[in-house]
Amino acid sequence: MTRPPGFSAVLFDWRGTLVEDPPDEWWVKTALTRTGRTADDDLVTRLCLALRTAAEVPEIAAGELSCDCSPDLHHSWSFAYFAAAGLDDELAAALYELDFDAASHPFYPDAPGVLRALHERGIRVALVSDIHLDLRPEFDAAGVGDCIDSFVLSFEHGIQKPDRRMFELALDELGVAAEDALMVGDRASHDGAAVGAGITTWLVPPGLPAGQARGLDRLLAVVR
């Protein structure tokens, strides 16, 4: 029997693909404001530079490769990272807690509509994310929780991308073959590893301005 054209399942990355990832300056300025401090541009610039420099410290860079394998690992790695950047305890805590606030990663304008359209077409959808917290409530709050058939979250499995098992877990939970699935992400280094699992992979451009549509509606032309 001839295989019908198109894909019957889509695997999505989360941050930077379905939801916005604000720039470092936003995170730092918001954390400063939440601690009641003045977030002047010079201070924000200095702190962002310190964070970027700390990210290159060998043990910090190495720790990032496994920090999302559990909430405890992520917590300890994050505070070691903030300490390496010279952040005090109060500011480090405020910065860390920001990631638990859904307002810190709003959905791209076109993401909910595309998820709903895929669901209504009977396309199976999985979320495959390196993350230290449960994302299901955020999808429920956005009204698209029922559009996700499988959540493959790194902290629940003790592995993270680019480990191909993340993608294989999604395929198993969706009940589809690799050739019938499309992976959509924004990082070749992580999401691109789906190719090793035999999954066609589509990378969206990183770093779009806040509030700009992701162009995800193009997916609707390649699904069955």
Q: In this structure, which topology does domain 9-20+106-221 adopt according to CATH?
A: Rossmann fold (3.40.50)
Per-residue pLDDT at 80: 98
Quick check: 204 and 214 in contact, CB under 8 A?
yes
Per-residue pLDDT at 5: 60
State the first-to-last Cα distance of the chain, in angstroms, to the nearest integer.
16
* Residues 168, 51: Cα–Cα separation, whole Å: 34
* Residues 46, 64: Cα–Cα separation, whole Å: 22
Q: Which two tokens stand for residue 39?
A: 């977030």
Query: Dihedrals φ, ψ of 124, to 5°?
Result: -75, 135
Alpha-helix runs per DSSP H in the chain: 24-34, 41-54, 58-63, 71-84, 89-98, 111-120, 136-141, 154-157, 165-174
Least confident window among 1-10, 32-41, 155-164, 215-224? 1-10
Least confident window among 69-73, 157-161, 210-214? 210-214
Q: What is the pLDDT of residues 129-146, one digit of tens each?
A: 999 999 999 999 999 999
DSSP 7: B
The torsion of the CA quartet 55, 158, 137, 201, rounded to 10 degrees, works out to: 80
Average pLDDT of the chain is 94
**Amino acid (one-letter) located at 154:** S
Report the length, in residues, of the chain.
224
**1: confidence class by pLDDT, cuts 50, 70, 90:** very low
What residue spans define the domains of the chain? 9-20+106-221, 24-103
